[in-house]
Structures are given as C-alpha cells and as structure tokens.
Structure 1
Amino acid sequence: MSINKETVKISYSSIICTEHTRIEGDVTIGLKNVIHPTAKIIAECGPIIIGDYNLIEENVTIINKTPGIIMMIGNHNVFEVGANIQTPQIGDHNVMESKCHVGLRTRITNGCVIGAMCNINYDEILAENTVIYGSRCERRLQHEKPSVQLSQIEFLGKILPNYQRIEKPNYRLPSTTATTIQSPTNTTNT
C-alpha cells in the first residue's frame, strides 16, 4: 500500500482498498467511490479530482501527466479491470472497459463507452454518448447513457470492508467543491 495521507484526501463513505493500491500526489476522492485493490492513481504532473460514485476496479491506472492541468473525473463513472487513463477530462456516466487506454489528447464528455482493449489518443473532445468499440476502434452514438452502478457500489461498500483493509476517510468536501466536481466539462464566465 502506498497512500500519502498528507496529500490524498478521501471523502466520507468512499471505500479505498489498500492492498497493493498506490495513490500518490495531490488527489481528492469524492463521496461513495469504490477503489479496488491494485489500482494506481498518480498525480504526477498536476492534481487529480475524482467526483462521486465512481467505481475503479483492479489494475486500473489513472495518471495525470499533463503539467499544470487539474485532471477532473466526474460522477458515476466505471473504470473496468486494467483500464489505463491519462486524459485530463472525464465527465459523468462513462464506462472505460477492460484494458482500454485513453491518452492525454482525448477528452471524454458524458455517457461515453470506451470498449475493451480500445486505444484512443486523438486530439478531440468525444461527443456525448459516443461508443468506441472493436479492434479498429469504430464509433457509434448510443441513445441512452450507460446505466448507473449505484447498487453495485452499495453492495461493494458493504462487502469489501469484511475482506479488505480499507483506508479511512480524512476529508469532507466543501459544498462549493462538490458542485464543481459534478460538471467538469462546464466553464463559467467571470
């Protein structure tokens, strides 16, 4: 386990399994997230802010390699086993399937699915509800966002503490930060 409690902020009710899990740098983890063993979240070149109700499975790597940019991950996202994520922007209700790779240049909006083993790193912002699939990373649009994993998160929140060492929360999100995390794709004019 490698979690620096001085720089990693874990909000109330998130389940962070500590077995072989590595969380380094300025990382803020929102409410009701589940992070499985062997996941890596590394704020190498800038902070990482993870919203609420995200599911991060085994061997997922989330790394901020963009200097001076805050990596923003929204709410209700699923990162399946072995996904490798480097994009600095992920909206809400997305699924990153097993062993996919999302590079620095691609931005993910809302309701997108990156298929198993797909490797994308194009200089683009994916349209909402884009599905990338197959060995040639083909694309289509779906009509509905991926389903929310609330029941799975609730179940894992009850079961995992019985079988895993869980890192204790050490942070309470201010209410203004919570609303900022909910919509990382929105910008405000001042």
Structure 2
Amino acid sequence: MGFEQIFILNKWCDHLKSVRITFFRSVKIAAGAVVCVESEIRGDVTIGPRTVVHPKARIIAEAGPIIIGEGNLIEEQALIINSYPENIMPDTEGVEPKTMTIGINNVFEVGCVSQALKIGDNNVIESKADVGRNVILTSGCIIGACCQVNTCEVIPENTVIYGSGCMRRVQTERPQPQTLQLDFLMKILPNYHHLKKTVKGNSTPARS
C-alpha cells in the first residue's frame, strides 16, 4: 500500500470517528420544557420538564453527558459545559466520560459559566459568575455576580459567595424556586421564539 493510499485510509478513519461521535450523541427534551431554537445544545444532553432555556444560552456536553432536572432556568448567554480537564485532550485514550448532573429549581443567570459536574437543588449562579469543574455545588447556594469559584471543594448548603473578594456567609433559608417566573416564561417565550421539539429518551432527568 502506497503512501497516498495510507493517507486516504487515515482520512477515512478520522471521518468515521467523527460520524460515530455525531450519531451517538443526542439531545433529549422532556415534555413541558421550553427550549428556544436560538440556544446552542451539543452532545448528549437531557433536559427535564419545566426547564426553560433562553435564546443564546449554551449547553455543551464534550467530555460526557449532561442531565438537567426539573424547573431550571437557563438565561441568555449562560454557558453550561461538561468539558475535559486542561491536561486531557479529547482524543486521549482510556478517558472515561463523566456525567454532569444538575438537580431541580436552579437558576443560571445571564453570562454565567458553570462547569461543575454536580449541582444540587435551589442554587443561583448569578450574572457573569464562573463555577469551575472541580466544584460540587450542594443545595441552596448563591454564587454572586462576577464571582469566580475554581477551587476543588464541596460548597456547603445555603452558602452565599459575594463581592469582589468572594466572601462567604451562610444564609438561613434556601433561595425560593422561580415558579412564577417559569410559568410566565413558558407562556411568553413560545409567542416570540420557535422551540426545539420535545424528544423522548431513556434517561431520566436528575433529582438530587
């Protein structure tokens, strides 16, 4: 086999790999979810009922599936990404995919970035906040606007991180679910935006 034939064969193998990856990744949207077509959703993503995904929001599953539970609000330009660690390339052999799970009644505000693989219930990640891959967000937490949390830790329940110095305190009650806002958005958004179709899948949206 000549050099040119080997080159063509390698190219064809690379093409088959990309095709296989494309076909084995899917987006599953539960009945009752509102997901605008202007949002970007890539990879193996499951979105639970009553979750609202605004236009320009991005949900990217690169390093493993993303399972989003019920009643979450994902605002414009928010980014939820299950990405590879910095020291691992996507084509590295023997790397097991890790599932990102997001519980119920969480809010991802405009322009925030969340890479946390485990998020519980009733959390708020405020505008322009950044939560790293090695953070576990329990329940009832608030990550304040523009705060960066890139440590390797479990954030205790009801923790509030705020201010330019990312100071911390514990609040007595969890943030209230955005039930009325979700109801309003579920009525209004379909009037102004096309929606992604509901797709049934085998996966069950996560509850913590």
Alignment partners' CA distance in 2, 1:166 and 1:33: 13
SS of equivalent residue, structure 1 residue 45: coil
Alignment partners' CA distance in 1, 2:125 and 2:202: 26
Aligned residue number for residue 170 of structure 2: 141
Alignment partners' CA distance in 1, 2:183 and 2:201: 20
Alignment partners' CA distance in 1, 2:202 and 2:111: 29
Q: Calculate percent identity across the aligned residue pairs.
A: 52
SS of equivalent residue, structure 1 residue 87: coil
1:27–1:43 CA contact under 8 A, matched in 2:
yes
Count of matched residue pairs: 175
Alignment partners' CA distance in 2, 1:172 and 1:25: 14
Alignment partners' CA distance in 1, 2:60 and 2:175: 26
In structure 2, stretches of 5+ residues that fail to align are: 1-22, 85-95
Mapping 1:67-78, distance limit 5 Å: 68-78=97-107
SS of equivalent residue, structure 1 residue 182: coil
From the CA coordinates, give the structure whose radius of gyration is larger: 2
1:40–1:61 CA contact under 8 A, matched in 2:
yes
Alignment partners' CA distance in 2, 1:172 and 1:122: 34
Structure with greater proportional helix content: 2
Alignment partners' CA distance in 2, 1:15 and 1:28: 13
Alignment partners' CA distance in 1, 2:198 and 2:147: 34
**1:18, CA displacement in angstroms?**
1.1
Counterpart residue type for residue 71 of structure 2: Y
Alignment partners' CA distance in 2, 1:142 and 1:171: 38
Aligned residue number for residue 7 of structure 1: 26
Aligned residue number for residue 90 of structure 1: 119
Aligned residue number for residue 189 of structure 2: 160
**1:172, CA displacement in angstroms?**
5.9
Q: TM-score, normalised by structure 1?
A: 0.88
Counterpart residue type for residue 182 of structure 1: R
Residue 78 to residue 105, structure 1, CA distance change in 2 (3 Å): same
In structure 1, stretches of 5+ residues that fail to align are: 184-190
Aligned residue number for residue 102 of structure 1: 131
| Deviant stretches of 4+, over 6 Å | none
1:106–1:124 CA contact under 8 A, matched in 2:
yes
